[in-house]
Structure 1
Amino acid sequence: MAEGSTFKRCSWRDDNGKELGQKCPKLRRPSGGWNHRHGIWHYQIELPPTPDGKRRGPLRRGGFTSQDDAEAELAQVRALLSLAGPREPATRTQIADLIKRTLAETKTLPNLETVRRKIKTGLDLTQEITIEQWLEEFLQRKRKIEESTRRSYEGHIRLYLAPYLGQLALDRLKVSDIAVMFEQIEEFNDTIAERRASPDPSVRAGVKYRRPVSIATMHSIRATLRHALNMAIRQDRLLDFNPAAVLELPAKARPKALVWTDDRVHDWQTAFHERLRAQKQCRGGRRGDPIDAYTSTPRPSRVMVWTPAQTRLFLEEAQRHRLFALYRLIALRGLRRGEACGLRWKEVNLDAHTITINWQLVQLAG
């Protein structure tokens, strides 16, 4: 492998307008040593041939104020080229292509450890892996997981990680990039809240099927990204650092459950009827949509608890329904929806008046 060399050049021109270059008499002192006040240091090194076998021009770089600086970058070029073994000419050619392209785009050399990891894992040196590409690879490798977990990963990737981060290079992902994603999600949450509070049904219809992303969901999104990046670190050594692991999010707080007291019921009913009237005005006197008004009228809390009297009233109304026994069981014994729907006859003992809960149904994608 060519070792390369460093040299000094002068950018001054003679009377004919030609650069003096290395022939400038002021580059050296009378004693023969270099004149540190004149000229600029450069280095030059031969690169491997192009993929079609043609000789490639030498790599020349200048602008260094000292010979040590020029020697340091030259040593980095040598280290990059030495990553390919003697029997790997194609890899050396790829490294040379990468050096030329990276210098042209960024004016800096490729990161040595990044190139080393790509060579070890057999990745194309001239192609950057994007976040979206790696997340697709992550999903393909996660074979032994529950279907509900897979659906969760797919949803986080499709709705948030790919749209906000997908086009970024995997090895250039920063903590600030992830923080900006969550800021944009919070901004959209504000948009949803504003449109839902509008008395105009057409405005609310624009966010009809969009729910604000809760803090708990944001933590889950970050967990998915953190898991995918950890895989890139452990299995393929594509990263040295996981930015998702150090990002701070607000603490998860469960919504405080409130009881439907008489005052709260009265206030909610008043707001509900006001929304119906506003709908009627927007529709030019035509009747509003009671279901839309019902779902869009804010509750005192996301979690509202019935009083015993309200529960009794519901069960009285539900007696004629074919699933009345199921509703009564849930109301009086606190089963989850999936547990109640998954209950099988062999787990019911009518003589002993007992049931055994040992599995549940899971809803996937509707």
Structure 2
Amino acid sequence: MQLNQHARLSVAPMMDWTDRHCRYLHRLMSGHALLYTEMVTAPALVRGGALHLLDHDPSEHPVALQLGGSDPAELAEAARLGAAAGYDEINLNVGCPSDRVQSGAFGAVLMKDPALVARCVTAMRRAVEVDVTVKCRIGVDDQTPEDVLPEFLSRMVGAGVERMTIHARKAWLDGLSPKENRDIPPLDYPLVQRMKELFPNLHLSINGGITSLDQVEALLDSGLDGVMVGRAAYHQPADILCTADRRIFGAGPEADTTPEATVERMLPYIEAHLSQGGKLGQVTRHMLGLFAGRPGARAWRRVLSEGAHRDGAGTDLVREALAAVTSLSAMADPMQAV
């Protein structure tokens, strides 16, 4: 399957969330969805030598590295490091509105300087053979998205970009917090859909406010090439990923997964992590939403949240949490106990 096909459904890069443990979990639930790292800054890799930020498990593929930065030469070197580490795609962040990102002159603030973004992308593409992509907003601050977004996309196409993801909200860099920027600016899906009409050869994914596979299917049916899901894929991953291979990628029903089976398949990974000196909570914090919306979900979260940070906590605790879910699910649906 080509990377463009995997991009029909992707899990958004999310700071402090989509680390390697989270991505391993998500890959167990869907074999086809495209996964993204947290944003890694180019200075951290190039000047700081923080190559451990590139660590990932081979099973995560297809997996993309998202970079933050605004210096073309530095981004080119960071892209080389990412490609050498085995990432399938290098993505440039032009959408994050955090103060930390603005102070580094990258992220959403780069929407104001499409010429600089084009230079960054050109340098990155020259440095690596893997896909170089861009994730952006529809605009920032007082920009008029209907005016600036077509110009921005035109610049990206001119720089050789063939695949982009658009978060269908404006970012307000002055006046809204990063959290507020994820909710308050209104979504404008029709504008993104019009961009696909304007740039028919550009592979366009949409991001922002998508909470179900029904929405994913509807957006794909509208003519968009891909859909990127963020918080819903983290907080209720089973709803987004367990049936995605069948519904979005055309696999057979045997491709469907379940939260219970995913927990069982996580146990060897957790054992290996603990044997290397890791802590249980580093992995299980990403698993808290596995049973969201199901009987027993609260018990699952409680057992893991209260016990994962205790000394000696291991896979027995995960099995205890799973037993609590199974028991409460059976009580809610007596036919399961037959």
TM-score (norm 1): 0.19
Higher relative contact order (CA 8 A, sep 6+): 2
Instruction: Give the number of the structure whose alpha-carbon radius of gyration is greater.
Output: 1
TM-score (norm 2): 0.20
